[in-house]
Amino acid sequence: MIEGDCDPDGTPRAPREGIFTWIAAREGDGAWRIAVAQNTNLCTDVRHRLSWSGGAVQLGKEQAHDEPPST
């Protein structure tokens, strides 16, 4: 759950589901630092492949599966 952030004008945003992707790089001093970050908000009315919890998985109107999608 993503929550607690604001729009550029300071208006609080509604809590939402999403995916954060970070690429970290080890610096010369041995410390890890975030080099690149990206956020994707997930639509609330679509079941995503990443929502697998042992139930049916559906993306858009594709057929549901009995097992997690293969990778």
**pTM listed for this prediction:** 0.45
So what's the pLDDT on residue 16? 84
pLDDT tens readout for residues 14-32: 888 888 899 999 999 999 9
Q: Give the amino acid at 33.
A: R
Name the amino acid, one letter, at 62: E
Task: List the chain domain ranges.
Answer: 1-61
d(CA 35, CA 26): 9
Percent of all residues in the chain with a pLDDT value above 70, rounded to a whole number = 63
Are 14 and 4 within 8 A, CB to CB? Answer: no
pLDDT given at position 43:
77
